[in-house]
Amino acid sequence: MQIPDITVPTIAIAGSADRFPVRRIFCVGQNYADHAREMGSDPDRQQPFFFAKPADAVVANGSTLPFPLLTEDLHHEVELVIALGAGGANVPAGDAAALIFGAAVGIDLTRRDLQAVAKKAGRPWDMAKGFDRSAPIAALTPGVPADNGMIALDVDGETRQSGDLSMMIWSVPEIIATLSTYVELAAGDLIFTGTPAGVGPILRGQSVRATIDGFEPLTVTFAR
């Protein structure tokens, strides 16, 4: 048997024919107070926690996706995604912005029923969060993103989530700095920075549109 020839996942860059190679995907849990409350958690400024998705979970803007396996409760979570062009360990928050290549609109897809089972049993969330095609991402806009701006998501034209980036409990530099104490960050790493309240189910055949001021909107549709 031959050694497999594996292609590195990439995402588009706005205004360029070049593409950004994805090394790893990290996600911050419950980084908006209103979302923490709707998930039954205390939104006080506690240390952020992280989970991961595989790099090949990325999905291009405009894709039609098969409905995920083993779920009847697929949820949307619109998020600002940060792409790192450099890395490091124990990065001070004041130096974190220098690591950023750009940012984009993303959707953290979640098999909420599997997550609920895992939480009840005290087990990891891996299969609830890190499944195939669970990380749709629009084209990256190069540069450091603003710390404010409308973030929203609609399903078939109905607004489900609406908030502002300024509502984050932990800022983007703080997220990068804290994550760098757990792992040595590197160029190609992506960070999903959390979602505002309003997460909810997506049904077969529905289209989801996610937006953040100043970024390319993201749209994906689920097959029936």
Please give the backbone phi and psi of residue 59, each rounded to the nearest 5 degrees, phi first: -130, 135
- The pLDDT value recorded for residue 35 is 64
Angstrom distance (rounded) from CA 194 to CA 185: 18
Query: Considering only CA atoms, which of 222, 202, 79, 196 is closest in space to residue 145?
Result: 79
Q: Report pLDDT digits (tens) over 53-82.
A: 999 999 999 999 999 999 999 999 999 999
Contacts with 104 (C-beta within 8 Å, 6 or more apart), sequence order: 11, 80, 81, 83, 137, 138, 139, 140, 141, 215, 216, 218
- The pLDDT value recorded for residue 40 is 60
- The pLDDT value recorded for residue 117 is 97
What's the Cα-to-Cα distance from 223 to each of 47, 70, 128, 133, 208, rounded to whole Å? 38, 15, 20, 13, 12
Contact 53, 163 (CB under 8 A): no
Contacts with 118 (C-beta within 8 Å, 6 or more apart), sequence order: 124, 125, 127, 128
- The pLDDT value recorded for residue 34 is 66
- The pLDDT value recorded for residue 45 is 65
Domains of the chain: 32-42+73-192 (3.90.850.10)
- DSSP for 35-48 reads HHHHTT---S-PPP
Single pTM value for the model: 0.95
User: How far is C-alpha 124 from the chain's CA centre?
Assistant: 18
Token pair for 78: 């619109």
Task: For the chain, list residues with pLDDT below 50.
Answer: none
Angstrom distance (rounded) from CA 59 to CA 188: 16
Please provide the size of the chain in residues.
224
